[in-house]
Structure 1
């Protein structure tokens, strides 16, 4: 699939609609919870397939030292307009990353596997350049969103994409990596027609759920063993009883 100027404009236009804006807000909320254990300050993150920079601003606001990469010059041009010089942007393929081994602390792949010929190779490449962890986000084929898109007759880039189920994504990760830990959650349980701020519907679509339920699933893959979550107590003097 070729991502040109027209598709880049269409992608950003959708993000500005009521439905698209609501979806992105919930997705970013989900990401905050999934990557909460990761340190941010002075940590390098590579956003693979960054597109028009939809999530670059989010990662920058988290505090990462940010690099973005995409194979489409038109997508990168729009990303540059948004992020300015707060991120280094590079042209390249997810299946053949133009970076050194372990050059980054973390790498993200935001709905990228859906459009690749060899997702397994791209996953191994991401793990090659990242030392600590990966963030993988994908569109869930078994969600109501996936079902509604399959029922539509009109063609669209998402309709032609390869959608994954959670068992398929988990198997892809386990077959190609040796993760120290995996955590996954999803968001947006209802079909797209319910993606709005109406009180009851908003609760349905803004509540994180099991990874096989929502339209958008986020997976944190720790490439090293998880760090201790409870800090050791420090004493300035000898403890007394």
Structure 2
């Protein structure tokens, strides 16, 4: 699925609504909970399907050196406007990434598998380019939210969410194990109540403001740690590369992807 300008605007507008702001807060809390065990400073993190850059903007603030890829030019343009020169952004297909094995410390797949034509291939590629681990977030098919906004009931009108491929936690566990050889070290969920209850006031704040086991919430996230993995490109070699050289290397054009115009070109 390729997102157009209408989708990008709708995506941004949703997170400005009261329910969207509350949902974003809970997703970010879940993300922070999952990455708490990861080192951050001078660690390279790639987001596959970065969209408008909402989450890698947060991860930049957490201390990661960030790179994003998306196959929608419109989404990448929005991400570039948000991030400026804080991230390297590439236009390419997440199911065939133009990066070397173990080029990044970590890779993020956050609400992107649902819209992929081949989620297993996307997971394999994410694992291939990661030396340290994966962070995977997905819409939970075993949730109230799926039955209200994800399932295509006979009386329901088509929508982006209803056309998405929602997953169960067990399905994602299996895909991660098959694609990386590792099982999730931690898996949790947020937002167990229906969307009308996503409110920043009592009692709904208490209900939806807690991190739950994986099957309860509308959104589930899991962290995968690649322990004792032998990287093809050793991590110690990256750490000895001066930051300016490393930055230049990460921005080199590669035949399978297009980095897109820089922020100055977009502002002309």
TM-score, normalized by the shorter chain, greater than 0.5: yes
1:217 aligns with 2:243: no
CA distance in 2, matches of 1:171, 1:125: 16
Gap regions ≥5 residues in structure 2: 230-268
2:117 aligns with 117
CA distance in 1, matches of 2:195, 2:98: 37
More deviation, 175-184/74-83: 175-184
Task: State the number of aligned residues.
Answer: 226
Preserved CA contact (<8 Å) 1:49 1:109: yes
- Equivalent runs, 1:39-58 vs 2, <5 Å: 39-58=39-58
Gap regions ≥5 residues in structure 1: 227-241
Preserved CA contact (<8 Å) 2:184 2:222: no
1:224 Cα deviation from its structure 2 partner = 1.5
Match of 1:184 among 184, 187, 191: 187
Structure 2 length as normaliser, TM-score?
0.82
* Residues 72-130 of structure 1 deviation map (CA, whole Å, 9 limit, x = unaligned): 00000001111111111111111000111111000000111101111111111001111
Cα distance change, pair 155–11 in 1 and its aligned pair in 2 (3 A): same
Cα distance change, pair 180–6 in 1 and its aligned pair in 2 (3 A): closer
Structure 1 length as normaliser, TM-score?
0.91
- Equivalent runs, 1:138-153 vs 2, <5 Å: 138-149=138-149, 150=151, 151=153, 153=156
CA distance in 1, matches of 2:158, 2:20: 19
1:207 aligns with 2:197: no
Match of 2:198 among 191, 195, 217: 195
* Residues 184-239 of structure 1 deviation map (CA, whole Å, 9 limit, x = unaligned): 0000010111111121111111100011110111100011259xxxxxxxxxxxxx
1:236 aligns with none
